[in-house]
């Protein structure tokens, strides 16, 4: 009877260490996945309500990586805030008319309302570690250049614009009740964007200019029934 020899185990090949570029790509991918998952969780639940484990599970990564890349939950939250500030710098171009700047903010909020909802959570729950005075210098410069009427208060205008941009994202139910449309519908977005643009442009008018515009418009078009009585 012939004996057959059992197969000899093959020596294992040493694992190739990832190249520096590969490690960099893995780190960038992990950071991106964690930031995206954190935005979902924080926008839905706020800082206090979001759990590190839920963020890691949504990203499909070990929760220890949150500590490794961001130093913990607070660092991840602050990284999202920094990401928003970088995006904000892209919108707020001093050379672009004010109505276009506001429309840029609005389009971003409509396309991805999570950032706006995250800011709303921060405002409601006090999840702001370094509360800073809002920079009004750009609005003040625009007012000097005639983009805002001289009798308007830049701080009040800023609050008005923040509310107008944020409302569709943080109060979608109000959009449905008032417009009878979904906030993400093209019909609402086109209508609201155009109306907001017109309203921002009107901020440059002085009261007497607005009255003259209304009077001129009245001469060109027949009055709507009831308007004469209201204006008398």
Residue 130 — very low, low, confident or very high, per pLDDT cuts 50/70/90? low
CA distance 46 to 124: 9
Structural domains of the chain, ranges and CATH numbers in brackets: 26-81 (1.10.10.60), 92-127+138-206 (no CATH)
For residue 232, the model assigns a pLDDT of 36
pLDDT one-digit tens code per residue, 89-100 = 788 888 999 999
Sign of the alpha-carbon dihedral angle for 18, 19, 22, 28: positive
User: What pTM does this model have?
Assistant: 0.68
CA distance 74 to 112: 23
pLDDT one-digit tens code per residue, 22-41 = 455 588 999 999 999 999 99
CA distance 40 to 38: 5
């Amino acid at each position: 009877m012939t004996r057959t020899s059992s197969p000899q185990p093959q020596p294992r090949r040493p694992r190739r260490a990832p190249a520096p570029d590969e490690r960099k790509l893995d780190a960038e991918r992990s950071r991106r996945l964690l930031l995206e998952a954190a935005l979902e969780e924080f926008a839905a639940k706020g800082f206090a309500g979001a759990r590190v484990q839920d963020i890691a599970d949504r990203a499909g990564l070990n929760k220890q990586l949150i500590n490794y890349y961001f130093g913990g939950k607070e660092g991840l939250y602050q990284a999202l805030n920094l990401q928003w500030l970088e995006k904000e710098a892209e919108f707020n171009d001093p050379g672009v008319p004010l109505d276009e700047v506001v429309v840029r903010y609005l389009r971003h909020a409509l396309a991805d309302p999570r950032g706006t909802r995250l800011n709303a959570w921060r405002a409601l729950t006090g999840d702001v570690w370094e509360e800073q005075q809002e920079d009004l210098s750009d609005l003040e410069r625009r007012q000097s250049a005639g983009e805002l009427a001289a009798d308007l208060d830049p701080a009040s205008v800023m609050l008005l614009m923040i509310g107008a941009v944020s409302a569709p994202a943080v109060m979608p139910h109000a959009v449905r009740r008032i417009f009878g449309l979904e906030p993400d519908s093209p019909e609402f977005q086109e209508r609201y964007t155009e109306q907001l643009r017109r309203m921002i442009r009107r901020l440059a008018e002085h009261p007497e200019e607005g009255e003259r515009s209304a009077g001129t418009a009245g001469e060109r078009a027949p009055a709507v029934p009831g308007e004469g009585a209201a204006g008398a």
